Amino acid sequence: MKIALAGAGAFGEKHLDGLRNIDGVEVVSLVGRRLEPTRAVADKYGIGHATIELAEALEQPGLDAVILCTPTQMHAAQAIQCMEAGKHVQVEIPLCDSLADGEAVLKKQQETGLVAMVGHTRRFNPSHQYLHKKIAAGELAIQQMDVQTYFFRRQNINAKGEARSWTDHLLWHHAAHTVDLFAWQAGPIVAANAIEGPHHPELGIAMDMSIQLKAESGAICSLSLSFNNDGPLGTFFRYICDNGTWLARYDDLVTGKEAVVDVSKVDVSMNGIELQDREFIAAIREGREPNASVTQVIPCYRVLDKLERQLEAAR
């Protein structure tokens, strides 16, 4: 299978590392914002073609699919561009930063029948998979999820500490992970509320946010997000269930009493990004809908849209 990857930054390299471990996959084109740095990453991973134009990558002979790790504001339009070219597409989270754009991607997928998947990595982390299997088997039910998403980003930089060409967003990016995960684990969301702190004078975004969710099952979720946290970074999930408590930290899982849970046999890898890419490729090969398809995750973006309108009304 021949794949093009657009977005040669920090997250693009995570995908390239994961794709190296998947048999029968060749990355034939790398798309970046500036040609020389893009060529350097292409050389590092043995990719023969580098470009700054997605359209040029889409014309590569035998290309089957595209993975988009580009700035959020480009995701929806580029996903549609890929499908219009007849290519399957995986879009990194978030699918969009407006509901209208997300719905347009869903419409194009329905028109083409191509595989269109979104990088909702939490569905693939072994820690969350472990609990999902227990929930599906009826061994436990969530009563409450308490989630903290904390970063220290008072400047516009990426995970490598390099300047970004776009601005990140607590609601449309980081909250999307938890909103979708909560619905995947506890069921459809029936109530959602949000409040936000002051907006950054230069970045123009809220630096702190609090979100409450309730699922049809009765389970609740409290999500705290911050770009002001000068401490341990990342997202930490506490699952309070009717049969035990767990804390998930990316691919690791412990009980409420900090006993380590072995999740090494949950899937073929401990790398959530690699597992996400494996699902994308398997869905294409098997002609099926992938986990985290656009169809499956669009309810998340409908909730985000509701929260955004709520926050705008409160300003």
Q: What is the CATH number of domain 122-270+300-314?
A: 3.30.360.10
Mean pLDDT of all residues in 259-273: 96
pLDDT band at residue 51 using 50, 70 and 90 as cut-offs: very high
Q: What is the pLDDT of residue 157?
A: 62
Q: What pTM did the predictor assign?
A: 0.94
Q: What is the pLDDT of residue 243?
A: 95
Helices (DSSP H) in the chain: which residue ranges?
A: 10-19, 35-44, 54-58, 75-84, 99-112, 126-136, 176-186, 272-286, 294-314
Name the token pair of 12. 């693009």
| pLDDT tens-place string over residues 131-151 | 999 999 999 999 999 999 998
Residue 88 sits at φ, ψ, to 5 deg, of: -65, 155
Q: Is the pLDDT of residue 130 over 90?
A: yes
Name the token pair of 160. 């490598």
Q: What is the pLDDT of residue 154?
A: 67
Contacts 24+ apart (CB under 8 A), 249-255: 249/127, 250/125, 250/127, 251/125, 251/126, 251/127, 252/127, 253/126, 253/127, 253/130, 253/131
pLDDT band at residue 232 using 50, 70 and 90 as cut-offs: confident
Name the token pair of 233. 């970074």
Q: What is the CATH number of domain 2-120+273-293?
A: 3.40.50.720
Residue 306 class from Cβ within 10 Å (0-12 exposed, 13-18 middle, 19+ buried)? middle
Q: How many CB atoms lie within 10 A of CB 101?
A: 18
Name the token pair of 46. 């043995």
Higher pLDDT, 161 or 310: 310
| pLDDT tens-place string over residues 115-124 | 999 999 999 9
Q: Is the pLDDT of residue 264 over 70?
A: yes
Q: Is the pLDDT of residue 164 over 70?
A: no
Mean pLDDT of all residues in 291-314: 97
Q: What is the pLDDT of residue 159?
A: 55
Mean pLDDT of all residues in 159-184: 82
Q: Domain segments of the chain: what residues? A: 2-120+273-293, 122-270+300-314
Mean pLDDT of all residues in 232-257: 94
Higher pLDDT, 259 or 166: 259
- 8 A C-beta contact, residue 110 and residue 116: no
Q: Quick one: what percent of the chain has pLDDT higher than 90? A: 88
Mean pLDDT of all residues in 271-295: 97
The residues with which 50 forms a beta bridge, in sequence order, are 30
Q: Is the dihedral of CA 256, 260, 261, 264 positive or negative?
A: positive
Q: Which residues contact 260 (CB under 8 A, 6 or more apart)?
A: 252, 253, 254
